[in-house]
């Protein structure tokens, strides 16, 4: 009887552990508007295993939920920088940055100033 109880306890803990596949993380990602938001979130969802990606225009925080068995934070960051947005840990290539819309040039102080006080915009 003891062996059965121990076996059941091990089985339940293994099943519980196996279900804990979702990871939560947040990243700082540069951008200035709703077009940036759409581009950043689309890049994340294009990464296999990403379940939720929400980027905040004001705080620049990207909140993620992803399946750690299918992807990792570094892979998601690489997807974001590939579409032209810098993260705190990685910088987009000049080619990728050049591909963003002119109003999304977050490295340009004039563009950033144009977006101050906005919650984002669409074109």
Q: Which residues of 70-82 are buried (b: 16+ CB within 10 A; e: fewer)?
A: ebebeebbebbbb
Q: Rounded to an integer, what distance in angstroms lies between the CA atom of residue 114 and that of residue 93?
A: 24
pLDDT tens for the chain, 123 residues: list them: 666 666 555 555 555 555 568 999 999 999 999 999 999 999 999 999 999 999 999 999 999 999 999 999 999 999 999 999 999 989 999 999 999 999 999 998 888 887 776 554 444
What does DSSP assign to residue 43? H
In this prediction the pTM is 0.78
> What is the per-residue pLDDT for 5?
62
Cβ atoms of 90 and 81 within 8 Å: the answer is yes
Residues 6+ away with beta carbon under 8 Å from 39: 31, 83, 84, 85, 100, 104
Architecture (CATH level 2) of domain 22-115: 2-Layer Sandwich (3.30)
Domains of the chain, residue spans: 22-115
pLDDT, residue 37, reads: 98
Task: Give the pLDDT of residue 116.
Answer: 76
pLDDT at 93: 96
pLDDT of residue 110: 81
Beta bridge partners of 24: 65
Q: What is the pLDDT of residue 68?
A: 95
Q: Which pLDDT does position 79 carry in this prediction?
A: 98
């Amino acid at each position: 009887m003891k062996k059965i109880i121990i076996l059941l306890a091990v089985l339940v803990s293994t099943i519980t552990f196996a279900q804990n596949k979702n990871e939560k993380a947040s990243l700082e990602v540069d951008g200035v508007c709703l077009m940036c938001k759409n581009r950043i979130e689309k890049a994340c969802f294009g990464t296999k295993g990403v379940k939720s990606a929400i980027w905040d225009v004001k705080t620049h925080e990207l909140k993620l939920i992803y399946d750690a068995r299918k992807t990792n934070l570094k892979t998601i960051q690489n997807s974001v920088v590939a579409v032209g947005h810098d993260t705190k840990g990685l910088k987009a290539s000049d080619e990728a940055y050049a591909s963003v819309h002119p109003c999304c040039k977050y490295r340009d102080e004039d563009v950033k100033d144009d977006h101050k006080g906005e919650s984002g915009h669409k074109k």
